[in-house]
């Protein structure tokens, strides 16, 4: 069962964001000492525009999903270490709640996030206070033959109100040679009767899942071009080795595709990333956004989805 956290404890844990940082090989961030009280869900925010929606496994979600890395302060900011600390000081628990409220107001109905420290408790608190955003999460517990730790983590998420699961891309990449373990992880998540996806950085994960007929409802696949200066630096700056190959493989996949890392952690402008993503076949897109970026990014999404070259793309829409 998920451990109970008091209001001050949630503030400290979320401000740290240490679970994600440690899992990704980064040092834990310092506590944000200025946050004194637990966040609260305020009155609804009026948005200038809404975005269209689709479905994954029976779950209705907006075509743009809110990415979780900025909320857990993991910014993929190359060698600029201070940015991690900057994100932690900006995205306080109060600001995280406000960001999700703004996202909801614009039709972004789901956040995709990891089981970073404090996140499960924070989402439970957000829903308790009236927050409606749906929660698509990847358990980061160990995947073993007995699936004991992984099953427990899934149960904790279910108890907190998770709406869908997905296999963490970091884990999936490591398990490409062990399809039976991928199946065990997916089947464990499916046993909780929520939609289940598989995420991947390596295209081979998708190919293995398709070959082995893994019973997932959707895929999350990294997808971006390499037309930006740091693409070839090999320093936490590229997550899609061959966009052309991704397009080729995904064109044959008949399941919803949620594209992520589409801006290469901020190196590619939003509109450019959206055009590349949807023209070439993705059905949904994950955008990591600060609160002040949501209005403009949803406007750009609607603009891109209205383009004839998106409407007439070669891959059919799924979801």
Q: State residue 40's pLDDT score.
A: 55
Handedness of CA 74, 156, 170, 191 (dihedral sign): negative
Among residues 186, 50, 32, 60, the alpha carbon closest in space to that of 105 is found at: 50
DSSP calls for 100-123: HHHHHHTT--EEEEE--TTHHHHH
pTM of the model: 0.86
Number of structural domains found in the chain: 1
Q: State residue 224's pLDDT score.
A: 96
151-172 burial by CB neighbour count: b if 16+ within 10 A, else e?
bebbebbbebebbbbbbbbbbb
For the cut 60, the answer to whether the pLDDT of residue 257 exceeds it is yes
Per-residue pLDDT, averaged over 115-136, amounts to 89
Q: For residues 50 and 33, what is the distance between their CA atoms, to the nearest angstrom?
A: 36
In a domain, 33, yes or no: yes
Per-residue pLDDT, averaged over 181-204, amounts to 98
In a domain, 72, yes or no: yes
List the domain range (segments joined by +) for residue 22.
Answer: 7-311
Domain of 74, CATH number, reads: 3.20.20.100
Among residues 231, 256, 254, 234, the alpha carbon closest in space to that of 243 is found at: 231
In a domain, 184, yes or no: yes
Let me know: does 137 contact 162? Beta carbons within 8 Å: yes
Q: What is the pLDDT of residues 1-57, one digit of tens each?
A: 333 333 334 334 444 343 333 333 333 333 443 334 455 556 668 888 899 999 999
């Amino acid at each position: 069962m998920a451990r109970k956290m008091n209001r001050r404890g949630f503030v400290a844990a979320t401000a740290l964001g240490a679970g994600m940082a440690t899992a990704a090989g980064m040092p834990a961030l310092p506590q944000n000492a200025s946050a004194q009280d637990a966040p609260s869900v305020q009155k609804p925010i009026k948005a200038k525009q809404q975005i269209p929606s689709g479905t994954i496994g029976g779950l209705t979600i907006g075509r743009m999903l809110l990415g979780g890395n900025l909320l857990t302060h993991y910014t993929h900011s190359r060698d600029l270490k201070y940015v991690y600390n900057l994100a932690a000081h900006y995205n306080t628990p109060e600001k995280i709640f406000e960001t999700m409220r703004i996202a909801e107001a614009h039709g972004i109905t789901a956040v995709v996030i990891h089981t970073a420290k404090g996140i499960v408790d924070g989402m439970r608190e957000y829903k308790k206070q009236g927050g409606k955003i749906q929660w698509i999460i990847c358990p980061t517990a160990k995947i073993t033959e007995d699936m004991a730790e992984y099953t427990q983590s899934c149960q904790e998420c279910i108890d907190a109100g998770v709406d869908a699961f997905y296999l963490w891309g970091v884990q999936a990449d490591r398990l490409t040679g062990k399809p039976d373990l991928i199946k065990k992880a997916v089947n464990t998540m499916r046993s909780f009767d929520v939609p289940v996806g598989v995420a991947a950085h390596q295209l081979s994960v998708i190919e293995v899942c398709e070959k082995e007929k893994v019973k997932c409802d959707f895929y999350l696949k990294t997808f971006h071009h390499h037309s930006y200066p740091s693409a070839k630096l090999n320093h936490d700056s590229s997550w899609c080795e061959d966009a052309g190959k991704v397009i080729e493989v995904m064109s044959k996949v008949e399941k919803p595709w949620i594209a992520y890392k589409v801006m290469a952690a901020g190196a590619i402008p939003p509109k450019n990333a959206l055009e590349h993503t949807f023209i070439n076949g993705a059905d949904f897109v994950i955008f990591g956004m600060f609160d002040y970026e949501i209005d403009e990014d949803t406007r750009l999404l609607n603009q891109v989805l209205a383009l004839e070259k998106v409407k007439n793309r070669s891959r059919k829409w799924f979801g």
